[in-house]
Amino acid sequence: MRSLIALLVLTAPAMADSVVATRTIRAQTIISIDDLTTVAAALPGALADPVLAVGMEARVAIYAGRPVRAQDLGAPALVERNQLVPLIYLSGGLAISTEGRALARGAAGEVIRVMNLSSRNTVNGRVGPDGAIYVGWNE
């Protein structure tokens, strides 16, 4: 009898906390702790800890009361579209720097298109942690 009770207790559905938005969060907004709350429900795909979302950027609009999912968040963009950025070519010991115009938004580590303002050529480069675009390195 005891094993039957233990089996019933262990197979009962576990309640988990899920993170939901307290207000409508527009895309490209940095999320703060005031934007989030937890509810005692297991919502599919929702984050379990609000700390995972704080400081991240909303990639899509997240409506009030809706679950906050990991795929709806990303690292904050360091480079905005049409922003003038340092364009740096690295290869071995060679480093060439010029000015470029970003053709897309991008966070650190993302590959975006950039127009070299000197030659008007378009290249792909990786956004560095300093906001510069690196070409010919780690691609």
What per-residue string of b and e applies to 109-136 under the rule 16 or more CB within 10 Å gives b?
Answer: ebebebbbeeeeeebebbbbeebbbbbb
Is residue 102 scored above 90 in pLDDT?
yes
**Full-model pTM:** 0.70
Distances (CA, A) of 126 to 14, 130, 134: 43, 11, 5
**What is the distance of C-alpha 94 from the center of its chain?**
32
What does each C-alpha distance from 119 to 77, 95, 103, 124 come to in angstroms?
Answer: 26, 17, 15, 14
The DSSP H or E segment spanning 101 is: strand 94-102
Q: Under CATH, to which class is 13-74 assigned?
A: alpha beta
pLDDT digits (tens, 9 = 90+) for 14-25: 568 899 999 999
Domain extent listing, the chain: 13-74, 77-135
Q: Residue for token digits 């690295």?
A: 90
Q: What is the pLDDT of residue 8?
A: 41
Residues forming beta bridges with residue 115, ordered by sequence position: 101, 122
**Highest-pLDDT range among 4-8, 66-70, 134-138:** 66-70
pLDDT above 90 covers what percent of the chain? Answer: 76
Cβ atoms within 10 Å of 61's Cβ, excluding its own: 14
Residue 23 confidence (pLDDT): 95
- pLDDT reported for residue 24: 95
Task: Tell me which of 2.30.30.760, 3.40.190.10, 3.40.50.12780, 1.10.540.10 is the CATH number of domain 77-135.
Answer: 2.30.30.760
Tell me if 115 sits within 8 A of 133, measured CB to CB.
no
Q: Could you identify the residue written with the tokens 């679950």?
A: 67
Q: Are 101 and 85 in contact (CB under 8 A)?
A: yes
Band (pLDDT 50/70/90 cuts) for residue 12 is very low
Q: How confident is the model at residue 136 (pLDDT cuts 50, 70, 90)?
A: confident
